[in-house]
Amino acid sequence: MRSRDKILGVLYGQAIGDAMGMPSELSPVEKIRQQFHGKITTFLDGPTNNDIAQNFTKGQYTDDTNQALAILDALIETHWQPDEQILVKHIMAWADAVGAWEHNILGPSSKAALSAIKAGQDPRPVTDQALTNGAGMRIAPIGTLFEPADVKRLVQLVFDVTRITHSSDVAISGAAMIAGAVSAAMVYQDWDDIIDFALTANDEGVKLGASTWAAKTHDRLLLGIYIAQKYEGDDDQFSQRIYDVIGTGTMISESIPAAVSIAYYCRDVQKCALMCANLGGDTDTIGAMATAICGAKAGVGSIPTDWVQLIDTQNPQHDLKAYADQILQFK
């Protein structure tokens, strides 16, 4: 059942995966190995030669977690009844506060949709064709609100908070897959059951979005789980096959199945965060999603205390424990 330990596991898991993957964001795996002398083994400052990561220091999380918490702020303000204008207000307030427009911090779909809204234009031509992973990177906390029996309510809320920037079928299905994996991981003991429920949520979500030609996240996750099972115990081979076959770029149809497959393979917050940071591609976003799922399963008690303290110290703008208390009040 839902518990404060599991909810905090999700929030800190998301933040840890995001912050650990920040220095290598959008880097090819070969560059990561060269720049970080083989691999990343701990939290690091964003390097000056990374246009996005240079805006962050060791232990700071990026737009993934900041947007996830902005969505929670909006829902808390409206007593958990999603209001599109309030959701946009909170995302915009964060973006303006951190200079997201000037510092290239926003993802392409979110930036285009929010720019249209700023200009007083209808964002639907952008959101209906949004194929990048902003929908999934910020959704994990929504999974903490529901148990698996409430799958339809879960997916509806995923849709309601996602469509402000992403309303395509692949975006809604991918976001529902992440939220579903979180919801199931908080309750189910068996990882295969977690994957089955993530697929169920995914399939509910795809019905709600505008049609696109994007590859199906359902089938790509099945392929990722096959790879995880085939290379069980061989971290390097598994990671390389996810990179080569599933893909680790910013597309929903790559990064979201990759993240869920990595969570299934790692099953541990520390291992997951480090694997994602060294993966290559959209490391911070994949790390945020995958490590949130591991945190949902293992709880915050499984996370090293110094990691939790670093997240708190480096991100004083948020109190994750206060968010957990608010989430527990949701009915």
Dist CA 312 CA 294 (whole Å): 19
Say if residue 282 carries a ligand binding annotation: yes
Q: What is the CA radius of gyration of the chain?
A: 18
Cα angle, residue 88 at apex, residues 326 and 2 outer, rounded to 5°: 25
Angle separating helix axes 63-77 and 283-298, nearest 10 degrees:
60
Find how far residue 4's CA is from the centre of its chain: 20
Using alpha carbons, list the distances in angstroms from residue 140 to 39, 41, 137, 181, 293.
27, 25, 7, 9, 8
Find how far residue 247's CA is from the centre of its chain: 16
Say if residue 64 carries a ligand binding annotation: yes
Neighbours of 200 (CB within 10 A): 18
168: which DSSP letter?
B
End-to-end, the C-alpha distance of the chain in Å comes to 13
Say if residue 62 carries a ligand binding annotation: yes
Say if residue 284 carries a ligand binding annotation: yes
- Both tokens assigned to 212: 């696109």
Dist CA 12 CA 303 (whole Å): 8
Say if residue 248 carries a ligand binding annotation: no
Dist CA 269 CA 272 (whole Å): 5
Say if residue 193 carries a ligand binding annotation: no
Extract the annotated binding site: 62-64, 282, 284-285
Extract the annotated binding site for Mg(2+): 62-64, 282, 284-285
